A and B are shown apart, each in its own frame.
Chain A
């Protein structure tokens, strides 16, 4: 590892809150390393201390034990201005108060680089414009921050962090208020930034599936305050993901890479087919509580046939063959059937 590569490192770091009398450790003995060009996602159940870790890494929160090292010097001992040139933050905090246009708000990100009165040079304006573009906030440029939606505001906060021009960016739950498409967009933007500009980006989230798709590395923070690191695929394969996130009610589906609500299958079914029709029929069956385990004897057989660009679902059940022209009709039938059985059961 070359010495001039800027790395955020922790050595035996313990984080938490220290009052006069009581001390609450959230996580301890953390040895972490965030290197350039990496997009890392910090995952963990609610209340495990993701935000505390982000704030401690950013130097806003004192550590209980151990150190956060930036360029080999402890972050707590750094001049705030020097630190602000290396680490930028996007927090979950409430929106800033005041009358700001998006542009003037992003301009605040230049603070560590400007003189005492905050006047902006040509270069500053260039950087601000670049940051707004990079965060896909072009159309918001002249809007008032107070009028933005949560998602738009999030973009502006990220643009502000980008304008700070730091090699390291830490984001606390930036996707929390976004709808799924914006979330995907944002994750890919961040990933691209990390790769293209050799930034180290750490993002905390509880959006597991998206993190699995986008992150170069996952840090899993457990309830006991331990961090497991690794590539998303390996963590999924070795079952460490399911150990952390799984519970009585949730099953890790290693095939699909998602968690499912755990339920006892009411019936086992056998599904034959191909392509997206197969995938979505399978999901519909699982959602409605059917088991698709090949090892179990199936009491229902479903065959998907594709002919002349149209698909049909041929179902064999109770020695009867029923044909459905769309997945919608098929699931409606499944639903009415399961309603039927539950009412029967309660009688």
Chain B
């Protein structure tokens, strides 16, 4: 059916690609659960999951309480950021768009900055709490910050064309970023340190009880995008053509910007600002599948995003060592060469986007 829809000789076999991506995802997931500062063998993992009484209780605790939620969080966050990047790129018709173009991450960082840098006594408590496990207050502050910016954008963007929305997002980012800079300038080094730690991004802060919130929100957001493939394809032709094809352009635009920003805002709230994934995953998928059809691209970005996040987290965990590297540095450090290779092989990634 799919081959028939896009009767191109150049189209890669999507079934095969999806199969490969699924396998990769599985391997990465198992690796993420097994590897870390403590290395857990495959047979130990099996016995833990089977619920064998012989399983080492310490290992079991590590896997169930830390590794599993972290791997799940990485998958969910990667998928969310990737598909959110795809929505933004299509909606704004700009290959440089990422989940944060509307400024939701700067909103989140403002929320966190206010909580961490200014709330003095609570801030000190946070400093201790931040590194160990996810802190509810930070999550709430970040989510509130990104929700605030999102609301502002959605109200202002109703009467705008896409280019203006893009510039608006940029301006809001700069404005909010300036406030954060001022807050940083006037705060104590210790607090600054904890804020910077937050800004590195980390998948390990989300506990099982927080996953009760995180998982349904991200799942609902990402899965709802699967229903948008048809209008998104139409949107690639430009808003006027999309309208002439019967697309409710304003509604779709509102819906897409909202889903993308809620996803990006939620991820930022729970895991900190994680860059690069959102812009890179859609381009990687277009390169892999050689298509712009969202019927393929949406599931593809979900899987590629999850795989990238798992890979990055695996590297950040530095298996075998007791240190944790900043996630944000890893995504770009290891991700950028991948994109550069694709760029060199393709000649011009822009053409993938049709420019």
The answer to whether A and B come from one shared complex is yes
Task: List CB contacts (< 8 Å) of A68-105 with chain B.
Answer: 79-85, 87-89, 91, 93-101, 103-104
Residues of A within 8 A of B247 (CB): 80, 111
Residue A109 lies at the interface, judged by CB distance under 8 Å to chain B: yes
Given known pairs A81-B246, A98-B236, the reply for A103 and B241 (CB within 8 Å) is no
Residue A150 lies at the interface, judged by CB distance under 8 Å to chain B: no
Residues of A within 8 A of B352 (CB): 99
- Whether the pair A100, B292 counts as a contact (CB closer than 8 A) is yes
In the assembled complex, the Cα of A261 lies from the Cα of B292 at a distance in Å of 49
Residues of B within 8 A of A98 (CB): 236, 292, 353-354
- Whether the pair A99, B244 counts as a contact (CB closer than 8 A) is no
Among residues of A, the one whose C-beta sits closest to the C-beta of B286 is: A99
Interface residues of B (CB under 8 A from A): 1, 4-11, 93, 227, 229-230, 233-234, 236-238, 240-241, 243-248, 286, 290-293, 295, 351-355
Nearest chain B CB to A15 CB, angstrom units: 16
Residues of B within 8 A of A300 (CB): none
In the assembled complex, the Cα of A94 lies from the Cα of B237 at a distance in Å of 9
The 8 A CB mask of A39-73 against B (1 = contact, 0 = none) is 00000000000000001001110000000000000
Residues of B within 8 A of A103 (CB): 6-8
Residues of A within 8 A of B233 (CB): 108, 111, 118
Among residues of A, the one whose C-beta sits closest to the C-beta of B294 is: A118
- Whether the pair A85, B246 counts as a contact (CB closer than 8 A) is yes
Interface residues of A (CB under 8 A from B): 55, 58-60, 79-85, 87-89, 91, 93-101, 103-104, 107-109, 111-112, 114, 116-120, 125, 141-142, 144-146, 164
- Whether the pair A142, B236 counts as a contact (CB closer than 8 A) is no
Nearest chain B CB to A138 CB, angstrom units: 13
Residues of A within 8 A of B246 (CB): 79-85, 111-112
- Whether the pair A146, B354 counts as a contact (CB closer than 8 A) is yes
In the assembled complex, the Cα of A220 lies from the Cα of B292 at a distance in Å of 41
Residues of B within 8 A of A96 (CB): 236-238, 241, 354
- A-B pairs with beta carbons under 8 Å apart, 14 shown: A55-B240, A80-B247, A89-B240, A93-B238, A93-B240, A96-B237, A97-B292, A100-B292, A104-B5, A111-B233, A112-B246, A119-B5, A142-B7, A145-B354
Residues of B within 8 A of A118 (CB): 229-230, 233, 295
Residues of B within 8 A of A97 (CB): 93, 236, 292, 353-355
Among residues of A, the one whose C-beta sits closest to the C-beta of B291 is: A99
Given known pairs A107-B5, A111-B230, the reply for A80 and B354 (CB within 8 Å) is no
Among residues of B, the one whose C-beta sits closest to the C-beta of A94 is: B238
In the assembled complex, the Cα of A85 lies from the Cα of B4 at a distance in Å of 23
For the complex of A and B, the 10 pairs showing the least CB-CB separation, nearest first, are A98-B292, A84-B246, A97-B354, A118-B230, A81-B246, A96-B237, A89-B244, A101-B8, A112-B246, A104-B6
In the assembled complex, the Cα of A118 lies from the Cα of B237 at a distance in Å of 15
Among residues of B, the one whose C-beta sits closest to the C-beta of A111 is: B245
Which one, A95, A108, A125, contacts B354 given CB within 8 A?
A95
Residues of A within 8 A of B9 (CB): 142
Residue with the greatest number of chain A CB neighbours at <10 A, chosen from B10, B229, B244, B355: B244
- Whether the pair B244, A88 counts as a contact (CB closer than 8 A) is yes
- Whether the pair B295, A117 counts as a contact (CB closer than 8 A) is yes
- Whether the pair B245, A109 counts as a contact (CB closer than 8 A) is yes
- Whether the pair A164, B240 counts as a contact (CB closer than 8 A) is no
Given known pairs A99-B354, A117-B229, A142-B7, the reply for A108 and B240 (CB within 8 Å) is no
Among residues of A, the one whose C-beta sits closest to the C-beta of B236 is: A98
Residues of B within 8 A of A58 (CB): 244
- Whether the pair A101, B292 counts as a contact (CB closer than 8 A) is no
In the assembled complex, the Cα of A95 lies from the Cα of B243 at a distance in Å of 15
In the assembled complex, the Cα of A54 lies from the Cα of B91 at a distance in Å of 25
Among residues of A, the one whose C-beta sits closest to the C-beta of B244 is: A89
In the assembled complex, the Cα of A146 lies from the Cα of B248 at a distance in Å of 26
Which one, A60, A80, A109, contacts B248 given CB within 8 A?
A80
- Whether the pair B229, A101 counts as a contact (CB closer than 8 A) is no
- Whether the pair B240, A119 counts as a contact (CB closer than 8 A) is no
Residues of A within 8 A of B93 (CB): 97
- Whether the pair A119, B354 counts as a contact (CB closer than 8 A) is no
Residues of A within 8 A of B244 (CB): 58, 60, 84, 87-89, 91
In the assembled complex, the Cα of A338 lies from the Cα of B355 at a distance in Å of 51
Which one, A55, A125, A145, contacts B4 given CB within 8 A?
A125
Q: A84-B245, A89-B241 are in contact. List 6 more A-B contacts (CB 8 A).
A: A94-B238, A97-B236, A98-B292, A104-B291, A107-B5, A118-B233
- Whether the pair B234, A108 counts as a contact (CB closer than 8 A) is yes
Residues of A within 8 A of B6 (CB): 101, 103-104, 107
Among residues of B, the one whose C-beta sits closest to the C-beta of A82 is: B246
Given known pairs A80-B243, A88-B244, A114-B230, the reply for A108 and B237 (CB within 8 Å) is yes
Nearest chain B CB to A346 CB, angstrom units: 53
- Whether the pair B245, A116 counts as a contact (CB closer than 8 A) is no
In the assembled complex, the Cα of A111 lies from the Cα of B235 at a distance in Å of 12
Residues of B within 8 A of A101 (CB): 6-8, 10-11
- Whether the pair B234, A111 counts as a contact (CB closer than 8 A) is yes
Nearest chain B CB to A3 CB, angstrom units: 25
In the assembled complex, the Cα of A103 lies from the Cα of B293 at a distance in Å of 12
- Whether the pair B230, A142 counts as a contact (CB closer than 8 A) is no
- Whether the pair B240, A117 counts as a contact (CB closer than 8 A) is no
In the assembled complex, the Cα of A9 lies from the Cα of B132 at a distance in Å of 70
Which one, B4, B234, B241, B355, contacts A93 given CB within 8 A?
B241
In the assembled complex, the Cα of A101 lies from the Cα of B9 at a distance in Å of 10
Given known pairs A80-B247, A108-B234, A111-B246, the reply for A60 and B354 (CB within 8 Å) is no
Residues of B within 8 A of A99 (CB): 286, 290-292, 352-354
Nearest chain A CB to B2 CB, angstrom units: 9
In the assembled complex, the Cα of A85 lies from the Cα of B244 at a distance in Å of 9
Among residues of B, the one whose C-beta sits closest to the C-beta of A98 is: B292
Residue with the greatest number of chain B CB neighbours at <10 A, chosen from A55, A98, A107, A118: A98
Residues of B within 8 A of A107 (CB): 5-6
Given known pairs A80-B248, A97-B93, A112-B246, the reply for A91 and B241 (CB within 8 Å) is yes
In the assembled complex, the Cα of A81 lies from the Cα of B1 at a distance in Å of 24
In the assembled complex, the Cα of A141 lies from the Cα of B10 at a distance in Å of 13
Residues of A within 8 A of B11 (CB): 101
Residue with the greatest number of chain A CB neighbours at <10 A, chosen from B233, B234, B246, B247: B246
Residues of B within 8 A of A111 (CB): 230, 233-234, 245-247
Which one, B8, B245, B286, contacts A108 given CB within 8 A?
B245
